[in-house]
Every structure is written in C-alpha cells, then in structure tokens.
Amino acid sequence: MAAYYNENTIIYFNGEFVKAAEAKTDLYSQSLHYGYAVFEGIRSYPVNGGTKMFKGKEHYDRLRRSAEVTRIPFTYTTEQLIELTYETLRRNNLTDAYVRPIVLCSPNMSLSKGRESYLAIECWEWTNGYMSNQMKIITSSYRRPNADAFHVDAKVSGHYVNSILACQEAKDKGYDEALVLDCNGFVAESSGANIFYEENGVLYTAPKGHILPGITRATVLEICGELNIPVIEKFFTPDEMRGADAGFFCGTAAEVVALSSLDDVPFKKTGKIH
Ligand code: PMP
C-alpha cells in the first residue's frame, strides 16, 4: 500500500491548505469516539492532459446528504467542494488519485447532534485499484447493519467497523473479499463495493434498502440502460448467485472487477455481458 502522505503533502482543513503532517484534530470528539463522521471516496483520473474527478457532483451531493441525515451541520455547497478538491489535487500535483473528504465533529462527547463540523480533504496517488482482478469471495458471517438501526444508505464512518470485520474475516480465511448479507439473509454488497451477477444474459443486483447505493452501481445501471442490457434489482440469496455465469463488484476504489468464485464455487465465466 502506497504511503498516504509525506512531509510535503497538503490537505484542505477547515478553511485553509495545510501540511498533512502538521494538521491537528482533537481527541474529544464524537467522530473519534463514536464514528460520528461522514466521508466520501472519489477517484480522479488523467483526462485529455488534465485532471477530472469521476462524478464529483454525485459524490459531494451524497456527502451533503450523509451529513444531513446524521444531523451533522455542514454548509459547503457541492460547487465549493468540487473546487476545493481540484485545488487540493493541484497543490499536490496529483492526477491519478483517490480523494477522501471527511466531515468531523467539534469537541463534544455527549450523544447530542453535531454542533460544528470540520472538513478535511485528503488525496493520495492511486494508479492500480485496491482490488485484484478475478476475486475469490466468501459469504461473510457478519451481516450488514440493520437498516432500521442506521442510515445504511449514507456514508458514515461508524458503519465501516462492520466493513473492516467482514473484509478481515474473509482475508484471514484466504479469500480476497467478503460477500455480506443483509439482516434478512439476502445478498447486500461487499465490504466496500456493490455486487452484480449475470445469468442467462440478465444482470441481477440487490435493490436499495440495505446497501450503500453506489455511484458506480448507478453508472452500471445507466450504461446497461443505454446498451439495452436487462438488469433486475431484486433480493437474492448466495445460493442463487453461486455458480452463475459471471459476477462482478463495482465501486469507486474497485472500479469494475470480475469475481472468480463465491464460496469456492467458480463462476462459469460464460457471461455474455461481463
Ligand atoms: N458499498 C459500500 C459499503 C461502499 O463502501 C462503497 C464505496 N463507497 C460502495 C458500496 C460503492 O459505492 P461507490 O460506487 O459510490 O463508490
């Protein structure tokens, strides 16, 4: 894993551009103690000699919505956030990069709603995604958080304890990633990506409700619409998916990555679409 920052790295933090190595936050905040923070993961790519974020507006609209549903005060507009991100990339001389904005809360250890928030925008070089191609995945013993307990469709820091548990369990067992079920036992997503499988020329993916509805997932649906590829959003079990014609994960970090097997049952790889 590449280093995230060095002594020259610049981040945007609370109204100014500062050195990452010198930036300070405090130890008395709900964000650290309770995971009460919201964030995004965005990719930028070299495009036509310049730098272009992939779906920056969609990501920052989601960040603002994540803050709203978790009742963290946050007043930046999407346009301001996009501009600040390009400036952060520029100051770090980065093009092919991963951008990580995070909204942290001010000192307050009670369980009341956020009083004041701080924005940090961090970015680091990212050339070859974090997932290998042809992933071996395993059904996790962990379930996604119950949708009645959390705003699962928001990107909230605390939710990712579940992702760490599921991902590490899979890796400890010798697999590349986890397939995580929802609280009802239907396939939801992986620890950090949405999932599709293909059977008889039709793509299937979990509906909204128990997943983080990814911006990449929405893009796949859009492209399928343009190409007249049938996609059905439905609840399905790992049994229905095992041994299907093909499967893939999609997400900002993963991009679109093929699956080789689920619970040691290989995908047939006879899919026409993938
Ligand atoms: N599900 C989870 C749990 C994720 O963390 C991510 C990554 N943000 C995704 C799905 C994919 O979402 P996106 O395509 O917006 O990156």
245 within a domain of the structure (yes/no) = yes
What residues contact residue 199 under an 8 Å CB cut-off, 6+ apart? 244, 245
Residues 140 and 262 in one domain: yes
Residues 80 and 153 in one domain: no
Radius of gyration for the alpha carbons in the chain, expressed in angstroms and rounded: 19
pLDDT, position 1: 47
The alpha carbon of 105 is separated from its chain's Cα centroid by a whole number of angstroms, namely 21
Q: How far is the CA of 134 from the centre of ligand 1 (A)?
A: 19
CATH code assigned at 191: 3.20.10.10
Nearest CA to ligand 1 atom 7: 192
Cβ(194) – ligand 1 distance below 6 Å? yes
Q: How far is the CA of 61 from the centre of ligand 1 (A)?
A: 14
93 within a domain of the structure (yes/no) = yes
For 199-228, write each residue's pLDDT tens digit: 999 999 999 999 999 999 999 999 999 999
2 within a domain of the structure (yes/no) = no
Q: How far is the CA of 161 from the centre of ligand 1 (A)?
A: 14
Which three-class secondary structure state does DSSP give residue 41?
coil
Nearest CA to ligand 1 atom 4: 192
Pick the last residue of a domain from 125, 157, 172: 125
pLDDT, position 131: 62
21 within a domain of the structure (yes/no) = yes
Cβ(261) – ligand 1 distance below 6 Å? no
- The token pair that represents 132 in the structure block: 């290998």
Q: What confidence category does residue 263 fall into, taking pLDDT thresholds of 50, 70 and 90?
A: very high
Nearest CA to 70 among 162, 143, 155? 155
Pick the last residue of a domain from 83, 100, 125: 125
Report which residue type is found at 144.
Answer: R
DSSP letter (8 states) at residue 57: H
Please indicate whether residue 155 is annotated as part of the active site. Answer: yes
pLDDT, position 207: 98
273 within a domain of the structure (yes/no) = no
CATH code assigned at 27: 3.30.470.10
Residues 176 and 119 in one domain: no
What residues contact residue 160 under an 8 Å CB cut-off, 6+ apart? 35
Residues 120 and 154 in one domain: no
**For range 2-30, the mean pLDDT:** 94
Closest atom of ligand 1 to 40 CA is: 8
Residues 41 and 101 in one domain: yes
DSSP letter (8 states) at residue 167: H
109 within a domain of the structure (yes/no) = yes
Nearest CA to ligand 1 atom 3: 192
Residues 85 and 168 in one domain: no
Residues 154 and 187 in one domain: yes
Pick the last residue of a domain from 92, 125, 158: 125
pLDDT, position 105: 96
How many angstroms separate the CA atoms of 89 and 93, rounded? 6
Closest atom of ligand 1 to 211 CA is: 1
- The token pair that represents 62 in the structure block: 């989601």
272 within a domain of the structure (yes/no) = no
Q: What confidence category does residue 114 fall into, taking pLDDT thresholds of 50, 70 and 90?
A: confident
Q: How far is the CA of 202 from the centre of ligand 1 (A)?
A: 22
Residues 19 and 115 in one domain: yes
Residues 15 and 115 in one domain: yes
- CB-side exposure of 152: number of CA atoms within 13 Å? 22
For 132-170, write each residue's pLDDT tens digit: 678 999 999 999 999 999 999 999 999 999 999 999 999
Closest atom of ligand 1 to 212 CA is: 1
- The token pair that represents 218 in the structure block: 């929405």
Cβ(251) – ligand 1 distance below 6 Å? yes
Number of domains in the chain: 2
Token look-up 């705003």 returns: 151
> How far are the Cα atoms of 59, 199, 217, 237, 239 from residue 214, in angstroms, in the given order?
9, 22, 5, 20, 24
Cβ(189) – ligand 1 distance below 6 Å? yes
The residues facing 206 across adjacent strands are: none
Q: What torsion, rounded to 10 degrees, do the Cα atoms 221, 227, 228, 234 define?
A: -20
pLDDT, position 270: 82
Task: Sort 86 into a burial class: Cβ within 10 Å, 0-12 / 13-18 / 19+.
Answer: middle
Cβ(247) – ligand 1 distance below 6 Å? no
102 within a domain of the structure (yes/no) = yes
Residues 146 and 197 in one domain: yes
pLDDT, position 151: 97
Closest atom of ligand 1 to 217 CA is: 14
* Annotated active-site residue in 52, 113, 155, 272: 155
Residues 18 and 117 in one domain: yes
Range of the domain at 199: 135-266
Residues 230 and 207 in one domain: yes
pLDDT, position 129: 60
Nearest CA to 140 among 102, 93, 189, 107? 189
**Concatenated DSSP letters of 76-89:** --HHHHHHHHHHHH
